[in-house]
Chain A
């Protein structure tokens, strides 16, 4: 397949532009390029950028991508983006990719600035209100979910209880002693409605992966685990700007793409990991990927479907709530999927042949999803 560049433009002005923030420069260049190609932002399904987060660029322009590249290696990042984009288009990961650059290098308008004070939209529109980071922002949609679907505090606590059962089977898990719903609800309040035991651990650790072609895979000492499919997306840098506080658009797109590219149905998934920074994440993941109808995941978990021996074993290492959480937990979720597919997990799911691993980035800002299998597709 040959890939071509079909739109190209610079910002309307160049030189000294004190009247535009850095993200505005990205947007101005993007709109000029879209016009050059005769497209609108809604025609774009892949976003790549460096210097700004691709989350910021996608949300600012109103793009819901199914392919994202934030590779940031300095001034040549955009060459990498073009290369990655060509590969993505060949692979069918995206049809129409927008690569943007914008930099308020002279005027320094709207550069950087995270949570507290500063010029980014996040700093301006969420920073002033006493955010404590993930404990207050990741969790902010849960009361709305409770009102909309009738989830109880006990059902939310049950997520932590079930994952502790899995952790009890994992010698390397940080917390292994069984807990009850009452233990969870009596633990210290962190950010109502979240108690301590419904929040992830804060631990140290690491992990790594090596990938190669399936043809070479037989030459290595361990059983190969095959990548059957994958997906990615971003929604918004600000949790308050989610289109629906009770559902993650990034989960829906990344998960849907992963299952589509793996050519699997829900019934094919034997084992599942959902990045659980907080107890509601598995609920969002099960519903956004279609394993449960909207509002039904709390009951699905309460009924024991995700616990040891259940129909859909989930977060079998104990998860971020009980196994470990160093801050960027996604690597540990992937490691557990690999162990399950190798057949070497401490809490091995008998006969598991397909594992789905759903990650989250930021606070529902981004998602990546990998489907693994223990046999060549």
Chain B
């Protein structure tokens, strides 16, 4: 992603107590989700309660890091952290939750960015914070 980044770093998150496990995970090279021990619901973004059944009995687990391209736009307006047109994508993880991200190691064009293409997570080091991004993967893996 470094070559597609402009001069200024991307806006970085400021972790909060209930999201700390997620950002500790990205720093350790893991994509961490939460699962409800009562109803089994898997969710993101992090919360200390299950949004499906209100239970506080939830655990953190490491996800597969695999997903697919659910939808996207290709932004053509200038952004201080990005060069040229770039895609902002919604990724659907194999475990169910969706998340916003960028797609790297891939041309930022409609021809290259095909809906439902298999993706895998990769992490961009920004010092204290690692940002989860996604890149195309072979569908068999």
Taking beta carbons and an 8 Å cutoff, which residues of A are in contact with B?
18-21, 24, 27-28, 31, 34, 40-42, 59-62, 109-110, 113, 115-119, 121, 123-132, 135-137, 139-144, 147, 188-194, 238-241, 245
Report the tally of A-B residue pairs with Cβ distances under 8 A: 161
Q: Bin chain B's interface residue count.
A: 35 or more
* Interface pair A31/B102, CB less than 8 Å apart: no
A129-B54 contact, Cβ under 8 Å, with A124-B14, A192-B73, A238-B100: no
* Interface pair B98/A241, CB less than 8 Å apart: yes
A109-B16 contact, Cβ under 8 Å, with A123-B11, A130-B88: yes
- Docked Cα-Cα span, A11 to B131, in Å, equals 32
Interchain nearest-CB distance for A137 vs B (Å): 8
Q: Which residue, A19, A191, A245, has most C-beta atoms of chain B within 10 A?
A: A191
CB-CB contacts below 8 Å: B21-77 with A: 23, 44-45, 47-54, 56, 70-77
Q: Which residue, B45, B73, B88, B110, has most C-beta atoms of chain A within 10 A?
A: B73
Contacts of A28 in B (CB 8 A): 48
Q: Which of B44, B51, B75 meets A132, CB within 8 Å?
A: B75
A117-B12 contact, Cβ under 8 Å, with A42-B54, A60-B51, A240-B100: yes
Taking beta carbons and an 8 Å cutoff, which residues of B are in contact with A?
10-19, 23, 44-45, 47-54, 56, 70-77, 79, 81-82, 85-86, 88-90, 98-102, 110, 115-116, 131
* Interface pair B101/A61, CB less than 8 Å apart: no
- Docked Cα-Cα span, A280 to B72, in Å, equals 15
Listed from nearest, the 10 A-B pairs whose CB atoms lie closest are A62-B51, A116-B11, A124-B13, A144-B71, A21-B16, A192-B74, A110-B16, A117-B11, A240-B100, A191-B73
**Residue in chain B with minimal CB distance to A241:** B98
A240-B98 contact, Cβ under 8 Å, with A19-B17, A27-B49: yes
* Interface pair B15/A129, CB less than 8 Å apart: no
Q: Which of A118, A140, A240 meets B14, CB within 8 Å?
A: A118
- Docked Cα-Cα span, A189 to B75, in Å, equals 9
- Extra 4 A-B pairs, beta carbons < 8 Å, given A118-B14, A194-B73: A62-B53, A124-B45, A135-B75, A193-B110
Interchain nearest-CB distance for A346 vs B (Å): 34
* Interface pair A34/B16, CB less than 8 Å apart: no
Contacts of B131 in A (CB 8 A): 128
* Interface pair A60/B47, CB less than 8 Å apart: yes
Q: Which of A21, A41, A147, A239 meets B54, CB within 8 Å?
A: A41
Interchain nearest-CB distance for B90 vs A (Å): 5
* Interface pair A240/B90, CB less than 8 Å apart: yes
- Docked Cα-Cα span, A110 to B70, in Å, equals 29
* Interface pair A62/B52, CB less than 8 Å apart: yes
Interchain nearest-CB distance for A360 vs B (Å): 18
Contacts of B88 in A (CB 8 A): 129-131, 136-137, 140
A128-B51 contact, Cβ under 8 Å, with A238-B45, A241-B45, A245-B90: no
Interchain nearest-CB distance for B24 vs A (Å): 13
* Interface pair B70/A128, CB less than 8 Å apart: no
Q: Which of A19, A115, A140 meets B73, CB within 8 Å?
A: A140
